[in-house]
Amino acid sequence: MTQRGKVYLVGAGPGDPKLITVKGLECLRRADVVIYDRLANPTLLEHVREDAERIYCGKLPDNHTMRQEAINALLAEKALEGKTVVRLKGGDPCVFGRAGEEAEHLAQRGVPFEIVPGVTAGIAAPAYAGIPVTHREHGSSFAVVTGHLSGGKSGEDAEKWRALARGVDTVAFYMGIANLPLICARLLEHGRRPDTPVAVIARGTLPEQATVTGTLATIEETVQRHPGISNPAIILVGDVVQLREKIKWFEE
Ligand code: SAH
């Protein structure tokens, strides 16, 4: 009987290499092939066997990236050779990590796979900045949103902005730094208070973590004054941000 391989879609955690799960680490140690991207902490590769194959598929200096179809095909191909394949992704593989597309591709081809969840940046970076994304008194709902949500020209997006502005206490925007002015403008336009607290947390959970806070009315200008606040960063909007003053710990 030919040996059957398997693909593990593994969350590497948000930055601090100790935030990978025990199961994720076990997968890394067993892997024959590791396919990793830019946001997975490279020090995690120290756990990979010497003789294992390592394939980088994040952004290269020439801005070229391996296309998603090529990655999908590679995952299936290596597993069908009988190998244990780890697809290592920053944060949680299912939160803006395309694990869904990869899993669909594998399922279609009958390639066995498992999803190993990870700690996502939208929760972990705030936690390291002293901000719990929910709190009994300050936030009972939490949304995870891409910063690429459009300017609201399509009716569907306008509907989403309205809901985020009025119906959700805490909102974490991923990939949003370039769109910060648009994000603030849309939330204000749809009725969020201008004095709503906002934090922007860059390189969360890493020693270089940096955080600035302000309000929907002021945060854009504050970020402009702090060039260190750049990608990767989480924009967190909501009253829970105030708690940072009392419980910030990591940057102390
Ligand atoms: N799957 C990842 C998200 C990938 S999308 C997760 O679950 O965390 C990439 C975005 O994630 C970045 O643009 C940034 O918004 C966020 N991000 C990833 N790592 C981060 C970090 N260490 N600190 C702050 N934001 C981070």
3-state helix, strand, coil in the chain (%, to 5): 35, 20, 40
pLDDT, residue 63, reads 65
Tens of pLDDT, residue by residue over 60-69, are 666 667 888 9
pLDDT score at 4: 79
| Dist. CA 85 → ligand 1 center (Å) | 23
Residue 231: pLDDT above 50? yes
Give dist(CA 156, CA 78) in Å, integer: 40
Tens digits of per-residue pLDDT, 97-136? 999 999 999 999 999 999 999 999 999 999 999 999 999 9
Cα 233 to averaged position of ligand 1 atoms, centre (Å): 6
- Nearest-CA residue for ligand 1 atom 13 is 175
Pocket test for ligand 1, best of 87, 96, 142, 200 (most atoms within 8 A of CB): 96
Among protein residues, the one whose CA lies closest to atom 5 of ligand 1: 96
The fraction of the chain above a pLDDT of 90, given in percent, is: 86
Per-residue pLDDT tens over the stretch 174-185? 999 999 999 999
Q: Average pLDDT of 213-238?
A: 97
Ordered alpha helix ranges (H), the chain: 22-30, 68-80, 99-108, 121-128, 155-167, 180-189, 219-225, 244-247
Q: Taking all residues of the chain, what is their mean pLDDT, rounded to a whole number? A: 94
Q: What is the pLDDT of residues 57-94, one digit of tens each?
A: 887 666 667 888 999 999 999 999 999 999 999 999 99
Helices vs strands, H then E, count in the chain: 8, 10
- Two tokens, residue 230: 């750049």
Which atom of ligand 1 is found nearest the CA of 204?
23
* pLDDT of res. 1: 46
pLDDT of residue 39: 82
Q: 8 forms bridges with which residues in the sheet?
A: 86, 114
Say yes or no: CB of residue 146 within 6 Å of ligand 1: no
Question: What would the pLDDT profile of 25-54 be if each residue is shown by its tens digit?
Answer: 999 999 999 999 888 888 999 999 999 999
Write out the two tokens for 171: 């909102």
Q: What is the pLDDT of residues 139-158, one digit of tens each?
A: 999 999 999 887 656 677 89
Q: Which sequence positions are flagged as catalytic?
A: 37, 59, 175
Q: Say how many Å lie between the CA of residue 16 and the centre of ligand 1.
A: 12
The answer, yes or no, to whether any atom of ligand 1 lies below 6 A from the CB of 91, is yes
CA of 174 to the centre of ligand 1 (A): 6
204 within ligand 1 shell (Cβ under 6 A) = yes
Q: Which domains does the chain have, with CATH numbers?
A: 6-116 (3.40.1010.10), 121-247 (3.30.950.10)
Q: Is the CB of 36 under 6 A from ligand 1?
A: no
In this predicted structure, the answer to whether residue 192 has a pLDDT above a threshold of 50 is: yes
